[in-house]
Structure 1
Amino acid sequence: MIEILLAGAFALGISLFGTPVLIRGLAARGYGQVIRDDGPQSHHVKRGTPTMGGIIIIFAVAVAYFSTHIITQVSVSASALLVLGLMTSLGVVGFLDDYLKVARKKSLGLTGRQKILGQVLFSGIFGFFGLRFPDESGLAPLSSQLSTVRDTSIALGTVVVIIWIILMVTATSNGVNLTDGLDGLATGAAVMTFLAFILIGVWEFRQGCATLNSPNCYVVRDPLDLAVLSAGLAGACTGFLWWNASPAKIFMGDTGSLALGGALAGI
């Protein structure tokens, strides 16, 4: 369980102390929030606040995760790597949107169709590869069976699973994006969600069929490593929240909101 503490601590430190460095860098380049003139007057005070803060969240999570595994000499898992890939790729989509906004000095970056296309593409890739890479027990990172608390005997098939994953990832990433409208709201909600994922991962590991010989055990893939990744995400968001709480010194932008939505859906 030391991996969970290390990942959380590393990500917290990187995010907490790295965010002000990012703020200065973004401010020096004029990468500030663009506010529509016809928007609420209360939002105009946010004009010019550095955005694209999701960069530090993604960076902190990745460094914390890999550093933890290097220190503990525990192998990385396919499940966590897939989630990291999904988070980063959606973060790239969000970054393009944020960059176009600040470059054009307008509140319009990528079109809605372009963002949806990026989300569909990367979530489809996530689903495709998630159904591969079985472990020694034959378990892939993603299950193709209908599940409630546990998998049932109803097989959905590859196409249905990928379509479902696309819908889930797209809905979740856009949901976080919509939530990111008040200072610290999306970040704070994400912290609590990832903390819950840590508990779920540890519980599934303790009650998993790989460690518990019981008819009620969970047949799951890499629950503990996903808990480690969740700890990194919780730590990174907590460190960022210090600077993102009202009055925000930086916004995560679509870079952060789409990335966090991808991580939430992926885990």
Structure 2
Amino acid sequence: MLREFLLPLVKYFTPFNIFRYLTFRSAYAAVTALLISYVLGPWLIDRLRVLKFGQSVRLDGPQSHLAKTGTPTMGGILIILSVLISVVLWIDISSVYCWIALSALIGFGLIGAADDILKIKKHSSDGLSVVQKLILQFIVSTIIVYSIYRATGPSITKLYVPFFKVHVVDLGVYWLPIAIIYVATWSNAVNITDGLDGLAVGLVIFAVLAFSVLTYVTSRADWSQYLGLPYIKQASELTVFNFALLGACVGFLWFNAHPAEIFMGDVGSLSLGGVLAVLSLMVKKEILLLVIGGVFVVEIGSVMLQVVYFKLTKGKRLFLMAPLHHHFELSGLKETKVVVRFWIMGGIFALIALSTLKIQ
């Protein structure tokens, strides 16, 4: 919005020309979101305490988590609000992709908010039923995925496979249902990972950093040609969105680091997972997200394996507890050590993903 207001005034004040530059607006989008998150964080924490919006902790989980009972939750509101304000201020408002990404963030955030509010009312860790949550996720996913198709056209159905010279697979009519399931699954993957102080948001920070690079290079004709990547001109403003998301997440981590003063709740985890999937669809890095978000894949995979193994063995467990981060906790590792080690793995996965850009 600032770009649209200030660029016409360049003839009166030449320095306003800087608003043309994507790098400038991206950097200040990150700073703006970070400052909003940092300034509003203490106020939101106090308000949530007054409203008694406290976290309910599973009784069958690690005993050390019982001390977290009552910690303010729904902190994902802070992330969404910071991103929303920053993005609206710094993007080219004609960018359809940015509005779709914002819609995904808000749409999945509303589902998470409904889930969190039900948990608070019930004083339980159970909110929406699995069926209710999945129905709502598929509705939002369908709207978002169809919007991406309308904004991009038939080329969106092409799947780019890394590591191969001939690396394009056209999914055709199958793209829509696959993409819908893909977005909903990623929303749940981050949700499942959000079980330790700072864990999920720290991993999202690494993922967003990687996507900031990917978005920038795919929106540049010269770099995308050199790296053998699809050139996606309309993705350029997503760099601003990514940096706003990065700043908001870093600001939230300030309060969510151990010992957490606030939890993001489902309003944060569902929205962050959903928007990561949406970003990967728009910049055609769907498969690479499996590498970038490798820890999320392992976490949701551990839950699936636990369920399957439990049923096949009629009551035996593969892990002490799923998802995997709880298994390590119950094995004797401190929460902070588990979180830092998962962050290290998240950083390694992000670097591996970026290193594949020239491997075709």
TM-score, normalisation: structure 2: 0.66
**Whole-Å Cα distance in 2 between the matches of residues 151 and 58 of structure 1?**
39
Residue 40 of structure 1: how far off its partner (Å)? 2.7
Q: Which amino acid aligns with 2:36?
A: I
Q: Post-superposition shift, 1:216?
A: 4.6
Uncovered stretches (5+) of structure 1, i.e. residues with no partner:
134-138
Of the candidates 251, 263, 272, which is equivalent to residue 251 of structure 1?
263
Larger radius of gyration: 2
Aligned to 2:170: 155
Alignment of 1:203-218 (within 5 A): 203-206=217-220, 208=221, 216=228, 218=230
Q: In 2 relative to 1, CA 30–216 (structure 1 residues): closer, same or farther, beyond 3 Å?
A: closer
Check whether the contact 1:55–1:255 (CA below 8 A) recurs between aligned residues.
yes
Query: Contact 1:53 / 1:253 at 8 angstroms: preserved in 2?
Result: yes
Q: CA offset at residue 39 of structure 1?
A: 3.3
Gaps of 5+ in 2: 1-22, 280-360
Q: Which has the higher contact order (CA 8 A, sep 6+)?
A: 1
Do the aligned partners of 1:176 and 1:260 also contact (CA within 8 Å) in 2? yes
Aligned to 1:177: 191
The structural deviation recorded for 1:142 is: 7.0
Cross-structure match for 1:165: 179
Distance 2:117 2:258 in 1: 23
AA aligned opposite 1:201: T
Which position in structure 2 is the counterpart of 1:46?
68
Specify which of 86, 110, 113 is matched with residue 104 of structure 2: 86
Contact 1:83–1:262 (8 Å) recurs in 2:
no
Is the counterpart of residue 75 in structure 1 residue 57 in structure 2?
A: no
Query: TM-score scaled to structure 1, two decimals?
Result: 0.89
Q: 1:262 to 1:141 in 2, by over 3 A?
A: farther
Per the TM alignment, residue 140 of structure 1 is displaced from its structure 2 partner at its CA by 3.7
Distance in 2 (alpha carbons) for counterparts of 1:262 and 1:154: 23
d(CA) in 2 for partners of 1:215, 1:54: 36
1:143 corresponds to: 156
Alignment correspondent of 2:119: 101
Distance 2:227 2:271 in 1: 37
Code of the residue aligned with 1:28 in structure 2: it is V
CA deviations 1:80-137 (Å, max 9, x no partner) are 211111111111000000001111212211001111111111111111121113xxxx
Instruction: Report which of the two has the higher share of helix.
Output: 2
State the one-letter code of the partner of 2:124.
K
Partner of 1:198: 212
Aligned partners of 2:136, 2:233: CA distance in 1, in Å?
27
How big is the shift at 1:147? 2.0
> In terms of mean alpha carbon deviation, does 149-158 or 179-188 score higher?
149-158
CA-atom RMSD in angstroms: 2.2
> Contact conserved, 1:101 with 1:107, CA < 8 A, in 2?
yes
Query: 1:224: how far off?
Result: 1.9
Measured in 2, the distance between the counterparts of 1:215 and 1:251 equals 40
1:228-247 CA-to-partner distances (Å, cap 9, x unmatched) read 11101110000000000000
**Identical positions, percent:** 38
What SS does the aligned partner of 2:159 have? strand
The whole-number CA distance in structure 1 between the counterparts of 2:166 and 2:88 is 30
Provide the rounded CA distance (Å) in 1 between the counterparts of 2:159 and 2:240: 26
Task: Give the partner amino acid of 1:182.
Answer: L
Q: How many residue pairs are counted as aligned between the two chains?
A: 255
Determine the C-alpha separation between the residues in 1 that align with 2:80 and 2:193: 18
Q: Deviations over 1:177-203 (max 9, x none)?
A: 111111000011111111111111122
1:225 maps to 2:232? no
Aligned match of 1:37 in 59, 64, 74?
59
TM-superposed CA distance for 1:21, in Å, is 0.9
Answer with 124-133 or 88-97: which moved more. 124-133
